[in-house]
Amino acid sequence: MSATEQETQAASGSARVRPPGGTAGPASSAEDAELLAALGYEQKFDRKVSLWANFALGFVYLSPLVGVVSLFATGLATAGGPAVFWIAIVGVGQFLVALVFGEVVSQFPLAGGLYQWVRRLWNGRYAWFTAWTYISCITIGITSTALYSSDFVASLFAGTAHDPGVSSTPTERLFIAIGMTVFCLVCNCFGTRTLALISKIGLAAELIGIVLVGLYLLIFERHNSVSIFFDGSSSNHDGYFGAFIAASLVGLFLFYGFEACGELAEEVPNPSRSIPRAMQLTVAVGGVAALLAFVGYALAAPDLASILAGKDSNPIPAILQGSLGTVGTKLVLMVTLTSFIAGVMSQQAAASRITFSFARDDMFPGARLFSRVSSKRRVPLNALLAVNVLPLLIFVFVYFSPDSLNKIAAFQMLAGYAAFMMVVLAALRMRLKGWRPAGAWTLGRWGFVVNVAALAYGVLGMVLLAWPTGDSGTPLVDRWIALIGFLLVSAVGLLYLLAAKPERNSTAPEGDALEVAERLRARAATTAPTTGGKRA
């Protein structure tokens, strides 16, 4: 390769790093590989996930289309039209969290995201428990997303003009969920390029399904007044305040997934700059899209009363049928199915990367097995296979207990928020010790204020997610199922942590966030004259 070709590839972020011996390594710019080496790791992945592909990955993980169609009926039956305001409330709160994450990932653009961040912000033991909590959340996320897709698959292939909203049977739900998971797993095994491509397709499908359909419903198919969004009537609660608080799940279940942008940090060119932007775009664009979809479906519902009364648990196909006809409904259901596929794939990818990162530091049982990256596809195949075992087992459990899906999802979100707040708390602790983020993207003097606000929001969100659901006649375990599930999983993780003490065997690079920040600043000052003043 000529010097000119090498310079061209380096400028485009696609130059190959050649390790000793001359064998071509994974595709990566020299600057990105050097930054990774400065953080103590060797480049093993191909950096083929562009800014837009990274944004698409987070967006389809958050998946406003999937979130809205899954929670639309629940939100309206719980608190009526005002449930839509939770999308805006939670969106603002999660944007604060995304800003904090952006500063951290900019300094530590490492595969495994949350685990790597808190290990430098606190210590190995704290990082292990954070990763345990987060992996539990994502594996359950794979499960719930695949299971929620079953009714839409059934409506796509079995729905008719007279009965477009078909609910899947337990057997159909089992086989659809297994098929969805296995299909997405196979696609993920083909590597980062395939993941990026399907994420982009999923992003396009989401935007078509939300923007075009949402605008069409708002402009041409309005059957209800906008006053429904300010009407406090609800069939499920005596007092409206309680109903509105219960409807917080509409927003809380919707806004997560932006952290997946950071899980693939070692597969993204110039990650210190592009990943914070991708996270912020995910929350902002996802929030606007979710609002548009929710409002459009609510105003176009031909039988809003039955949805508010909780009699229609799958109203989206009927709304589409009444507005778009059979052909239009089938097309939108196909778009929705594409979003489900992209969402499951992104969750699998995020879970496998954090498992890989965990194992790379010898902090995970079977570390040597799960830290391997395939030489051809540059994918942690063993980790990818492992994170899909638990979802397959849970599918069987849900088959015998069909009512357990929402309970599983409730635990999933509480665990996810807990893992988020462990990062936010660790960042605030390090700030109080004098840490000034040294990444290419920072909040400057606003960092502390945003960090405190994000922590306050997150704690409130955890309280709402742990709050008992149902009425006084609901069994005690069912009312507190999210908190009980979280405490059980946490207890198992803590017992293993205390008994095995995996942090003692860790081979992770030394240095906390303060020390790393100083090293990076010194490195930037040293390399600035030879890189045209660019920050590494």
SS3 340: helix
Quote the pLDDT of residue 232. Answer: 72
Quote the pLDDT of residue 233. Answer: 64
Condensed to tens digits (0 to 9), the pLDDT of residues 297-338 reads 999 998 888 888 888 877 888 888 888 888 888 888 888 888
Residue 146 · residue 177 · CB < 8 Å: yes
Instruction: Quote the CA–CA distance of 455 and 453 in Å, as a whole number.
Output: 5
The two three-digit tokens of residue 176, written as one number: 């659809």
The CA distances from residue 489 to 133, 169, 403, 411, 421, in Å, are 8, 29, 20, 10, 17
Instruction: Quote the CA–CA distance of 121 and 294 in Å, as a whole number.
Output: 38
Sign of torsion, CA 266 269 270 274? negative
Q: What's the helix, strand, coil split of the chain in %, to 5?
A: 75, 0, 25
Q: Return the closest-CA partner of residue 209 out of 67, 40, 413, 373.
A: 67
- Within 190-231, residue ranges assigned H as helices are 192-207, 213-220
Beta bridge partners of 27: 16
Residue 134 · residue 419 · CB < 8 Å: yes
Q: How many H helices and E strands in the chain? A: 24, 0
Q: Which letter, b or e, does each residue of 447-460 get, where b requires 16 or more Cβ atoms within 10 Å of its Cβ?
A: beebbebbbebbee
* pLDDT values of the chain reduced to their tens digit, one per residue, 536 residues: 433 343 334 333 444 444 444 444 565 578 888 889 889 999 888 898 888 999 988 888 888 877 887 788 888 888 888 999 999 999 999 999 999 999 999 999 999 889 999 999 999 999 999 999 999 999 988 998 898 888 888 878 875 555 555 677 889 889 999 999 999 999 999 988 898 899 889 888 888 878 788 888 888 888 899 999 988 765 555 667 778 888 888 888 888 889 989 999 999 999 999 999 999 999 999 999 899 989 999 999 988 888 888 888 778 888 888 888 888 888 888 888 888 898 899 899 999 999 999 889 988 788 889 999 988 888 999 999 999 999 999 998 888 887 777 777 778 889 999 999 999 999 999 999 999 999 999 999 999 999 999 999 999 999 999 988 766 677 888 888 889 989 999 999 999 999 989 888 888 888 889 988 988 888 878 766 544 444 43
Residue 358 · residue 107 · CB < 8 Å: no
* Cα angle for residues 82, 83, 87 (degrees, 5° grid): 115
Half-sphere exposure of 127 (CA within 13 A, CB side): 29
Q: Return the closest-CA partner of residue 101 out of 418, 421, 338.
A: 421
The two three-digit tokens of residue 381, written as one number: 């195949």
Instruction: Quote the CA–CA distance of 430 and 422 in Å, as a whole number.
Output: 12
Q: In the 8-state DSSP scheme, what is residue 15? A: P
Residue 414 · residue 488 · CB < 8 Å: no
Task: For the chain, give every domain's residue range.
Answer: 52-511
Instruction: Quote the CA–CA distance of 360 and 83 in Å, as a whole number.
Output: 43
CATH entry 3.40.50.20 includes domain 52-511? no
Quote the pLDDT of residue 164. Answer: 58
Rg of the chain, C-alpha, whole Å: 23
Quote the pLDDT of residue 236. Answer: 55
